[in-house]
Amino acid sequence: MSRNFLREETSPYLLQHADNPVHWRPWGEEALNAARKEKKPILLSVGYAACHWCHVMAHESFEDEATAAVMNELFVNIKVDREERPDIDAIYMSALHMLGQQGGWPLTMFLTPDGEPFWGGTYFPKEANYGRPGFVQVLTEVSRIFREEPAKVFKNRSALTDALKKQAGTARPGEPTPEVPAIVAEKLAEIMDPVHGGIRGAPKFPQVPLLSLLWRVHLRTGRDYFAAPVLRALDHMSEGGIYDHLGGGYARYSVDEFWLAPHFEKMLYDNAQLIDLLTLAWTETGKPLYARRIRETVEWVSREMTTDGGGFAASLDADSEGVEGKFYVWSEAEIDNLFTPGEAELFKQVYNVSAEGNWEETNILNRLARADAPFSDEEEAALEPLKARAFAERDMRVKPGFDDKVLADWNGLMIAALARAGAALGEAEWIGMAASAFRFVMETMRVDGRLHHAWREGRLQHLAMADDLANMADAALALAEATGDGAYVASAESLIAELDRWYADETNGGYFFTASDAPALIVRRRTVSDDATPAANGTLPGVLTRLGLMTGKDEYLAKADALIRAFAGELQQNIFPLGSFIASLDTRLRPLQVVLIGSLEETAELARAAFSVSCPSRVLMRVADGTSLPASHPAHGKTAVDGKPTAYVCAGETCSLPVTEAAALVEEMKRGRASA
């Protein structure tokens, strides 16, 4: 029976298409069998709920009866939420790149009935324009070629499928040198925008893994040359239009080089990574702007992105009322009507509001004019009541679409960020938010020892990807440090055991993206390259290093070493997607262990001091006395001084003299991170 099958799905993105006249099917064996039975090619459309151009193509083509009729006649149509099925998206996006096309969403791929790609693109306009064919023209021509020129289809799908399999099976092992992080940081610094921050040109993405790597090398070397691009990027992002100055949180990227005009969707994963980086920058610089943006963004997460169960939702849409950015932009008249003349003049001056507007005849609130000249505390205080009034006014507008599905990998990123930020800024409530979300994922999304990727409205979807397990293990260790609760370390061990059991590549090393018993796709991907989120194989060497040091189990350190060697050859190919991998390498080479001797309550002040130091390779442990550490640990046997809570800072095989004062611990950690 031909009909639209999406009503039974839980994904908000798929449900957005449940009323289309297109006979959409979710990805699965039933859809592939239908294509085989009907001897039709597959039209695969991949997008996500917060994607503006996905909405445009939907309105133009998928909601159009005539276009849908052509799609239904010529194809079996499959709709995929890329956030719910990143495994499918990654395979067919790689195929598109192999066709020499730039990727993006919506992803539109044409497949054989067995799911093998043979051609594709991204957004297709309904009508032909600027030399581009209209969507119906594309559909009819692809269908004709599939029927009448099977040799062309065979050639393309064979080449693409073989290339995908080769890509997945390619091993580039190696032995990286300790100089790699600094060498890569030198190359990255050369391509940074010296005026606006971030990588030169437009569009501009936050690129947090690359900025974080620069920051690590700055801390190690003390060279401001590496710090300047990071601080400039954070300053301009935090004062630009990419930041929501009324509601908190960062949009996904800026379409220009100034950080002014965002693509307005707000994603959980971007904000998690930015909270983490802002925390590292704030603990070193003490810059009030960074603390303010962290607090505002966490408030946004708490207010708008936390589900009833405590997990964190995925995203807010770019569009409202069918218009990109409509919820966020202002006219000058709206500001004038909201405030007294004096207040309006101040607000307009600070947030760059004018009659002509700064974006498509409207105004995106931004403070870029002062990005390099921070506002004083008094100025910030004067703006607060105006911001509150504007926020309340905006809150009465039609809100952007909300994707409330809970994704384990994105939750792992946010849990870790909240735990680390809460510990650094002394915010126990944030650590509590992180603990609640961790409990939700582990208790609700893990069944019979198997983590799942997505949850919504009481329904689990899809076995976990490697990223889910890696990020949740990292979150567990962040909570262990923030709370002193050893149960989190045990949770991390169980997640790594699950990863080893179902995802390990026994031939080439590292981990596959999907489990060995997951529903079959045309290839199992294995990659170390970061995408919008860090790759599991990039994150895991750092996680395994910290886990090995916290537990005293050398097997985890051996796994970290093997994983690093399995992918080290990639450093000769393309360094730009390897930020997480290189950061993990740095943690493995130069961890800084802080051992606190005494009870949780007794060592609280020393712990606060340790969290106040910007040190991304820190490993914090609390023990009753040094004899409880493994014999191989450099602090084994060390004791408290005169019964006082005592700290030891260990770099490599050497530990500092005992420290009992918080200020002395801070100085010892700063010396240790430079010499490790």
In a domain, 235, yes or no: no
With H, G, I as helix, E, B as strand and everything else as coil, classify residue 140: helix
Give the model confidence (pLDDT) of 389-431 as tens digits.
Answer: 999 999 999 999 999 999 999 999 999 999 999 999 999 999 9
- Integer Cα distance of 100 and 510 in angstroms: 28
Among the candidates 145, 169, 193, a domain finishes at 169
In a domain, 278, yes or no: no
Closest C-alpha to 654, from 676, 623, 674:
676
pLDDT of 107 higher than 90: yes
Q: Identify whether the C-beta of residue 561 lies closer than 8 Å to the C-beta of residue 168.
A: no
Among the candidates 118, 152, 169, a domain finishes at 169
Residue type, 182: A
With H, G, I as helix, E, B as strand and everything else as coil, classify residue 218: helix
- Integer Cα distance of 541 and 72 in angstroms: 47
Give the model confidence (pLDDT) of 133-186 as tens digits.
Answer: 889 999 999 999 999 988 888 888 888 888 888 887 778 888 998 999 999 999
DSSP per position, 579-610: HHHHHHHHHHHS-EEEEEES-TTTTHHHHHHH
CB atoms within 10 A of CB 135: 24
- Integer Cα distance of 7 and 16 in angstroms: 9
Among the candidates 169, 190, 212, a domain finishes at 169
pLDDT, position 154: 87
Q: Rounded to whole angstroms, what are the CA distances from 563 to 168, 481, 616?
A: 16, 24, 20
pLDDT, position 630: 86
Give the model confidence (pLDDT) of 616-671 as tens digits.
Answer: 999 999 998 877 888 889 988 888 998 899 999 999 889 999 999 999 999 999 99
CATH number at residue 114: 3.40.30.10
In a domain, 290, yes or no: no
Question: How many structural domains does the chain have?
Answer: 2
pLDDT, position 52: 85
Give the model confidence (pLDDT) of 524-557 as tens digits.
Answer: 999 999 999 999 999 999 999 999 999 999 999 9
CA 377 distance to own-chain centroid: 32
C-alpha neighbours within 13 Å on the C-beta side of residue 208: 23
Q: Mean pLDDT for the chain?
A: 94
pTM given for the model: 0.95
C-alpha neighbours within 13 Å on the C-beta side of residue 471: 29
Write the burial class of residue 372 (CB in 10 Å: 0-12 exposed, 13-18 middle, 19+ buried). Answer: exposed
Phi, psi (deg, nearest 5) at residue 657 = -65, 160
Domain limits for position 152: 6-169
Q: pLDDT band at 569, cuts 50/70/90?
A: very high
In a domain, 350, yes or no: no
Residue type, 475: A
- Integer Cα distance of 398 and 144 in angstroms: 44
With H, G, I as helix, E, B as strand and everything else as coil, classify residue 217: helix
